[in-house]
Amino acid sequence: MPAVVRQAAESDADQIAAIYAPYVRDSAISFELIPPTVEEMRERIRALTATHPWLVCADGPAILGYTYAGRYRERPAYQWSVETTVYVRHDAHRRGIGRALYTALLPIVTAQGFYTAYALITLPGVGSVALHESMGFEPVGVCRGVGYKLGTWRDVGTWELVLRARPASPVAPRAIDGVRGSAEWEAAMGAATRMLGG
């Protein structure tokens, strides 16, 4: 059976935490310093999926990668933008998983009513830059030496993707429950799964 893209469940927390831990422990890709526990990850999934999408790439019971979108910033005027994140299991790189996950995620946040997606990338981040630019993100700025991790000051670049034209008077984005199961949701999930050979 080919891999599929589906909504994350709280029961995926152990595998998601295991995927994420090496990025925290062994790299500057994540600016967290201590990997979250399985229970912390379960709570993150529970909290985020009340309002935003969190998707996984599953090959049978195995989770190969995940993506989610969350608030870009906390102040209310930022509510029409999201920050996106994607992580792929280390032994599953270069299989198109990140691209398939974003192929599902981006139409879903557009259907929710968001207008702009942002990705923050620890530089040089060659693989992440290539993925985001292949999806249409464009670089819009760099914060120099904004974080210190693994003995070095780190630069972080911001990549932007305009999801749709911005109106003069936008309405508030819908919570994910307003999109889950919709035609847009099913089309996004189907497109992503077909990319994986399904």
Model pLDDT for residues 48-80, shown as the tens digit of each residue: 999 999 999 999 999 999 999 999 999 999 999
Structural domain of 109 = 4-195
Summarised one tens digit per residue, pLDDT across range 91-147 is 999 999 999 999 999 999 999 999 999 999 999 999 999 999 999 999 999 999 999
How does the average pLDDT of the chain come out, rounded?
A: 97
- Opening angle at CA 91, ends 24 and 131, nearest 5: 75
What's the number of domains the chain is made of? 1
> Token digits for 18?
């295991």
User: Which residues are registered as beta bridge partners of 85?
Assistant: 68
Q: How do residues 1-22 score in pLDDT, each as one tens digit?
A: 689 999 999 999 999 999 999 9
pTM: 0.96
Query: Which helix (H) or strand (E) segment is 67 a member of?
Result: strand 62-71
Q: Any idea what DSSP says for residue 179?
A: T
d(CA 116, CA 118): 7
Q: Specify the CATH number for the domain of residue 54.
A: 3.40.630.30
